[in-house]
Amino acid sequence: MKRAVLYLRVSSPEQSPETQLLDLRQMAAQRGYEIVHQYVDKITGVKAKRPGLEQLMADARRHRFDVVMVWAFDRMARSVRHFLEVLDELNHLGIEFVSFRESVDTSGPLGRAMVVIVGAIAELERNLIVERVRAGMRRAKLDGRQIGRARLDVDREQVLQDRSLGMSLTQVATKHGISRASVCRIVKHSAFAPAPISSKEQLSWQ
């Protein structure tokens, strides 16, 4: 019975890898693999630092398993180049790679060729999505549309005057419909000398 490990990745701490886990466990059972460990990263795909993947590769070099299983190619690496580097090292270590979504494994030459092709297509698709987003932002800018959070329309002089008259952070923030942190920023970047922020107020908005 081959020893298999699962590598699971989701894009944020709020997401759960449960769906990936269920699919991979079912595939492992069908193939007669023994799952000996699972590695999880909760991080966006473009980030270089992946503790789970790094630990997986460290254990691979110690020959602690025979097969690496992932839910999809794009779960494994941040780019095609990185993906192929990982696969190349696994291949030299005699460790097979299996992907659930693409139904591909590297136990034979055809499987290895498919991995290269599908990996390149996946990276192309991601790059096209990024370019479409950038093009949309450029078009919105040319059309005069707001990109991102709208800038607050605040009467800064009145904010400073209210503070200089002794109004608290909360009172000024409520009056102008902004946060206490915004009030503090306005005061900090002003050349005026309004009423100082008390220690109690400082703690309350931090």
pLDDT per position as a tens digit, 69-83 = 999 888 887 777 788
pLDDT at site 151: 57
pLDDT per position as a tens digit, 87-136 = 888 888 989 999 998 787 777 676 667 667 766 776 777 778 888 888 88
> What class is the 3-126 domain?
alpha beta
Stretch 178-186: mean pLDDT: 84
pLDDT per position as a tens digit, 9-29 = 988 877 888 989 999 999 999
pLDDT at site 136: 81
Place of tokens 């503070």: 163
**CA trace torsion 112, 113, 119, 120 (10° rounding):** 150
Tell me how far apart the alpha carbons of residues 17 and 12 are, in angstroms, rounded to a whole number: 10
Over 60: is that where the pLDDT of 204 sits? no
Q: Where in the chain is the domain with CATH 3.40.50.1390?
A: 3-126
3-state secondary structure of 96: strand
Please give the structure tokens belonging to residue 58: 């460290």
More confident residue, 27 or 178: 27
CA dist 152 → 112, 177, 179, 180 (Å): 54, 10, 11, 14
Band of residue 205 on the pLDDT scale cut at 50, 70, 90: very low
Show which residues are catalytic. 11
Tell me how far apart the alpha carbons of residues 14 and 116 are, in angstroms, rounded to a whole number: 31
Beta strands in 53-173 (DSSP E): 67-70, 96-99, 104-105
